[in-house]
Structure 1
């Protein structure tokens, strides 16, 4: 183990808080905003290509799984070489994937572009990489709040991009809309330059760990396992709703405009929810914030299924779910940094997010699979409720304090405890 002392904090150059938040928030706005509207393509793509909903759902399920598989590697490379290079590579893959998604004429080609390629791109342009920069460049006492700001930006991107994407599909056709988004993804490249970390600023206080040591420690720690379990549920719920909500509403006779408004409301109210979750995480145990979010999601879905389905019930449900949508992201990542420190933050955040993406895969795929088998989404809605209760219980025993490491004095201070 390398125990050579890093440069003192006072000697390490860091990016300004404003620069980190502006560039990081803009990147998340683009990367998350583009993907949030993919459900709008389900109907036009399947009708134009003559595919089943399961074929479309499988591609997006593979996208989420590919994103999850590549996330730890992208995080590992970002921890080692800096986030900028990973963000630039991810932006180029994103643009290529969107363009190929537009021209794929077979289900297999669509699976490769919309699924594999865009999933790889998202692993390098979303939270794990950006949050690694925030963890290293922002003081511990402001870390949870800063993560909340970045997540709120991603939420605003969802609110902003959904009506834009719907307008593009309606006025230019679904294929040309994807070409426009490919160009938009390239805007991540100049923003990534703003997150180029100064030499030495990625150094962490205390003894350094190898990658193997960090992984052995994390996966052997109960609280890390529980965080992964909760994040699995998060992925299942939000991706099922985000992808299948438009078709669910259409099946019940509601107009496409209602679905567009619903997705936009989720993004708008998630700005509030993610910022609030990040701020609350500075003032109360983050595990309680997470448990409350999962429990409230289950309650919201249950009530939604019990009341008559009208545009206004959809809007209310979307607003409530919006507050709870990505609000799990700031406290989950802040707990990881708080327990293990920031040296391997992007990598460990990537592994936690991998569990999220396994849930996402099952949520989006089972949504299409069970719909085709039963003609209804009812089973998946009820499964989402049960999983939310499970996540509530899983987060309660999480220990947020810095993990004890023999021979590592000052570890708690390094983690921001």
Structure 2
């Protein structure tokens, strides 16, 4: 291996490690308010919908942030969004510790944790790492995306232990300070820009001339629209167990400790899916085919949830659902890199992930609304499965239009 290749491999590895570390740390801000929700509501005399809305605003903000930051990644690289997110998440945590009204909490979670926090990291980090890797692109994207899944596994019990000891205000403050101290140095690791590669997806001879290749029977804009509709369907379905699984399990007559255990099992399997299965499937068969597999598993398990009552079966179904949903969101970054121009990966990933963020918010809301109307989660889970089935059908259609170009036009570049 030449010195140039060694330097490239070292920079690429540093960017990967730095990216997954930043997503892991910022994931704490996402889950912190879940732990503090009840205590916040009691301290201020709020209904629980106030901190719950702040949690939802974070997703909406991150969607809009991804739209903006995706373009910045295409032009300037990942360093600038990473620096912005480090400042905003750290400062946001410390500011939450001093709030005295609901609008302050909303503003911090919408703008600092959402728009310029998760919005500057989630989609941009996945789009950026997809441009660094070729042969093992899916594995790299999965490892980076696993940072958020790992955050749910690690931060939830940490916050659950710390908050009763020091209170929610001190917990937010020290988390914010910790984030600043760790994430700012990481910015100097992830600032490297990926190498410039051919963006037209055409095969070239050794002399530089372009070989004659067939053109896919689908335009770039049509493919992106298809991915937007697909992610909407699967994210509506995904958000229902994510936001309501603990309540669903307790409604089945099981104690809260078991319900939390079922949720933790789902998150653990989601981490395994992102860290291992995403790379294994997408590197072997391409992002579109991997998307079909993950979406199909999620749809089936969502239906099975509605007919499951025994605790051990709930654990099994939650584990399988986690394996499906864990790979779903990040696999879109692989599919975009496989089939769309590399110079527009950041922008296009931001657009698709924005639709996904809106779908997550809609799914979480519709689950609670339909439960209030029916007194059961059966109808919302089945509606989520219908949305998910629409994703499966749409992905099959995209595979048909892309036949002859799977796993991807750029899969071997």
TM range (shorter): 0.7 to 0.9
Post-superposition offset of 1:195: 1.0
Go from structure 1 to structure 2 and tell me whether the alpha carbon gap of 1:349 and 1:189 turns closer, same or farther (over 3 Å shift). Answer: same
Q: What do the CA deviations read for 1:46-105 (whole angstroms, capped 9, x no partner)?
A: 344333343333322222111101111111112212211211111211123333334434
Matches within 5 A, 1:119-268: 119-120=114-115, 121-126=117-122, 128-138=123-133, 140-186=134-180, 187-197=182-192, 201-206=194-199, 221-249=221-249, 254-268=254-268
Tell me the residue number matched to 1:60: 55
Tell me the residue number matched to 1:211: none
- Segments of 5+ residues of structure 2 without an aligned counterpart are 202-217
1:71 aligned residue (49, 66, 73)? 66
Tell me the residue number matched to 1:416: 412
Partner secondary structure for residue 63 of structure 1: helix
Residue range with higher mean Cα deviation, 225-234 or 67-76? 225-234
Q: Check if 1:299 corresponds to 2:300.
A: yes
**Aligned-partner Cα distance in 1 for 2:366–2:83:** 33
- Segments of 5+ residues of structure 1 without an aligned counterpart are 1-8, 209-217, 405-411
**Aligned-partner Cα distance in 2 for 1:172–1:345:** 43
**Aligned-partner Cα distance in 2 for 1:365–1:49:** 23
1:104 aligned residue (99, 108, 117)? 99
Go from structure 1 to structure 2 and tell me whether the alpha carbon gap of 1:278 and 1:167 turns closer, same or farther (over 3 Å shift). Answer: same
**Aligned-partner Cα distance in 2 for 1:244–1:265:** 15
**Aligned-partner Cα distance in 1 for 2:339–2:296:** 24
1:82 aligned residue (38, 61, 77)? 77
Go from structure 1 to structure 2 and tell me whether the alpha carbon gap of 1:367 and 1:27 turns closer, same or farther (over 3 Å shift). Answer: same
**Aligned-partner Cα distance in 1 for 2:89–2:78:** 16
Post-superposition offset of 1:402: 11
Tell me the residue number matched to 2:285: 284
**Aligned-partner Cα distance in 1 for 2:153–2:136:** 26
Go from structure 1 to structure 2 and tell me whether the alpha carbon gap of 1:74 and 1:227 turns closer, same or farther (over 3 Å shift). Answer: same
**Aligned-partner Cα distance in 2 for 1:22–1:59:** 30
Partner secondary structure for residue 343 of structure 1: helix
Question: Looking at both structures, which has the greater relative contact order when contacts are Cα pairs under 8 Å and sequence separation is at least 6?
Answer: 1
**Aligned-partner Cα distance in 2 for 1:370–1:54:** 16
| RMSD across aligned positions (CA) | 3.2
**Aligned-partner Cα distance in 1 for 2:100–2:29:** 22
Q: Check if 1:28 corresponds to 2:59.
A: no
Tell me the residue number matched to 1:5: none
Tell me the residue number matched to 2:45: 50
Go from structure 1 to structure 2 and tell me whether the alpha carbon gap of 1:32 and 1:13 turns closer, same or farther (over 3 Å shift). Answer: same
Post-superposition offset of 1:339: 1.4
Partner secondary structure for residue 306 of structure 1: coil
1:41 aligned residue (36, 40, 47)? 36
Partner secondary structure for residue 104 of structure 1: coil
Tell me the residue number matched to 1:408: none
Go from structure 1 to structure 2 and tell me whether the alpha carbon gap of 1:329 and 1:373 turns closer, same or farther (over 3 Å shift). Answer: closer
Tell me the residue number matched to 2:215: none
Contact 1:298/1:388 (8 A) holds in 2? yes
**TM-score, structure 2 normalization:** 0.82
**Aligned-partner Cα distance in 1 for 2:287–2:105:** 39
Q: What do the CA deviations read for 1:200-221 (whole angstroms, capped 9, x no partner)?
A: x45342579xxxxxxxxx9963
Post-superposition offset of 1:190: 1.5
Go from structure 1 to structure 2 and tell me whether the alpha carbon gap of 1:378 and 1:392 turns closer, same or farther (over 3 Å shift). Answer: same
Post-superposition offset of 1:281: 0.9
**Aligned-partner Cα distance in 2 for 1:414–1:290:** 17
**Aligned-partner Cα distance in 2 for 1:74–1:358:** 17
Partner secondary structure for residue 145 of structure 1: helix
**Aligned-partner Cα distance in 2 for 1:261–1:183:** 30
**Aligned-partner Cα distance in 1 for 2:190–2:177:** 21
Tell me the residue number matched to 1:6: none
Contact 1:20/1:133 (8 A) holds in 2? no
Contact 1:64/1:360 (8 A) holds in 2? yes
Q: What do the CA deviations read for 1:146-198 (whole angstroms, capped 9, x no partner)?
A: 11222234322322222112222333333332223323332222222111115
Contact 2:71/2:347 (8 A) holds in 1? yes
Go from structure 1 to structure 2 and tell me whether the alpha carbon gap of 1:226 and 1:414 turns closer, same or farther (over 3 Å shift). Answer: closer
Tell me the residue number matched to 2:112: 117
Go from structure 1 to structure 2 and tell me whether the alpha carbon gap of 1:282 and 1:83 turns closer, same or farther (over 3 Å shift). Answer: same
